[in-house]
Structure 1
Amino acid sequence: MTLKALIFDVDGTLAETEEAHRNAFMRAFAQAGLNWNWPPKLYRKLLKVSGGRERILAFDPDASPELVAALHRRKTEIYTGMVASGRVMLRPGIERLIAEAREAGIRLAIASTTSRANVVALLGHRSEWFEVIACGEDAARKKPDPQVYHLVLNKMGLPGEDCLALEDSANGVRAARAAGIDVVVSESLYTAGDDFSGALAVFPDLAKVDLERLRHLHR
């Protein structure tokens, strides 16, 4: 099989974002007068639920739709401000790997359950590197449902076997595999040690993983 496209997850894959997200949630809760506390151990459990709004509801199923929307909106404002201040950087190897793919004519896409505002804030002008950017607003069903991956494949006009997904979570692996896409995992702060059954390979990061290595894994 010839590798024609790389499809990236965002949070935890392109950048180590989850601690920034957690802190943004905590600040949003405090500003709303809520005594909600999401320490790292609890947040790791909540990350099993994809999507920020969905995570809030997993924590408090009785939260009203209006409260959930307001909290998520404020959290996004706080998070994008943190990104703009330079507090969130791309993970090791990401920019180099993307450059190699672009030079080789490999198409690039994003399949994420995070909001478009978060993706744009993180990537800035680098958004133009990606032919397709599918975000949480585009797919009502979150990972591990494969909807966001099917959306990317449809927009690119490619079958799953021509692509390789890069993920950091078990939900991401399950979503990509359900769409017929092979997956390589780079573990992140909150997913290290999880069960990544179905992935072609699991790395601590992509610092030493080049395009040729990915092509070899994809064969």
Structure 2
Amino acid sequence: MLLKAILFDLDGVITDTAAYHFKAWSWLAEKYQLQLEPDVETRLKGISRLDSLKIILQENDLPVGYAEEKMEKMCIEKNDYYKKLISMMTPQDILPGIEPFLKEARRADIRIGLASASQNGSYILDKIGLRSCFDTIVDPSLLIKGKPDPEIFIKCAHQLGVPLENCVGIEDAAAGVEAINAAGILSVGIGSDIELKAAQIILPSTQQLKLNIF
């Protein structure tokens, strides 16, 4: 393929904020006396804040949409706590291999975009010193549908001005891989070859990212 753009997820690909997310959800669950089992963490990967909350409510046999205003308030509370946790992030939190891979892409004149469900994407990139590496960041609050819908990856490619067939998408979550595939983009999964079996290319870690694998 003629590679012109790389579309990155954030959590678990650029930096590992999954632990911060789950810690914030655990804090919220304790506050509202909800059960949150460790095995739910994987299901919260790669999806929006509201969709994550809906899963937690379902796990507690509470009706999704039981109180729209209350869910909105809970999402804000979770995000405020999460932002406190990530406020101390530094370039030391960048995952192995990401910086050299970004530099390699830059040297090859490949465009770089962030297609993350996180509404803190720009803030986190600033904290870890990578904001200048990205040509565009999709604002997830402006999207109609979240992952596994392909909208965010289609939007990212459009913002970069690059045809979908010339893009690669990199994800660590099954929902994200599904979204990349649905967009007609070459999918790269970082992590388990069982969980990410739908990805066209699977790598055990970000350290294996090189342009010559595409």
Q: TM-score range by the shorter chain?
A: 0.7 to 0.9
Aligned partner of 1:38 in structure 2 is 36
* Matched residue SS, 1:7: strand
Q: Which runs of 4+ in 1 moved over 6 A?
A: none
* Amino acid aligned to 1:121: Y
Cα shift at 1:43? 2.3
Once residues 20 and 163 of structure 1 are traced to their aligned partners in structure 2, the CA distance between those partners, rounded to angstroms, is 30
Q: Is the 8 A contact 1:146 1:176 kept in 2?
A: yes
Q: 1:79 and 2:76 equivalent?
A: no
Cα shift at 1:24? 0.9
Please list, as runs of the form range in 1=range in 2, the aligned pairs for 1:6-85 lying within 5 A after superposition. 6-30=6-30, 33-47=31-45, 50-60=47-57, 61-85=64-88
Aligned partner of 2:60 in structure 1 is none
Q: Is the 8 A contact 2:189 2:196 kept in 1?
A: no
Once residues 161 and 63 of structure 1 are traced to their aligned partners in structure 2, the CA distance between those partners, rounded to angstroms, is 42
Q: Is the 8 A contact 2:112 2:134 kept in 1?
A: yes
Once residues 106 and 132 of structure 1 are traced to their aligned partners in structure 2, the CA distance between those partners, rounded to angstroms, is 12
Aligned partner of 1:89 in structure 2 is 93
Can you list the C-alpha shifts for 1:46-81, whole angstroms capped at 9, x where unaligned?
44x821111212322154122211121122122222
Q: Which runs of 5+ in 1 are unaligned?
A: none
Q: Is the 8 A contact 1:80 1:121 kept in 2?
A: no
Q: 1:36 to 1:156 in 2, by over 3 A?
A: same
Once residues 77 and 2 of structure 1 are traced to their aligned partners in structure 2, the CA distance between those partners, rounded to angstroms, is 42
- Count residues in correspondence: 205
Aligned partner of 1:143 in structure 2 is 147
Please list, as runs of the form range in 1=range in 2, the aligned pairs for 1:1-219 lying within 5 A after superposition. 1-30=1-30, 33-47=31-45, 50-60=47-57, 61-86=64-89, 89-115=93-119, 118-124=120-126, 125-187=129-191, 193-197=194-198, 199-213=199-213, 217=214
Once residues 99 and 44 of structure 2 are traced to their aligned partners in structure 1, the CA distance between those partners, rounded to angstroms, is 29
CA-based RMSD of the aligned residues comes to: 2.0
Once residues 109 and 170 of structure 1 are traced to their aligned partners in structure 2, the CA distance between those partners, rounded to angstroms, is 20
Once residues 150 and 65 of structure 2 are traced to their aligned partners in structure 1, the CA distance between those partners, rounded to angstroms, is 27
* Matched residue SS, 1:50: coil
* Amino acid aligned to 1:50: I
Return the TM-score normalized by structure 2. 0.87
Of all paired residues, the percent bearing the same amino acid is 26
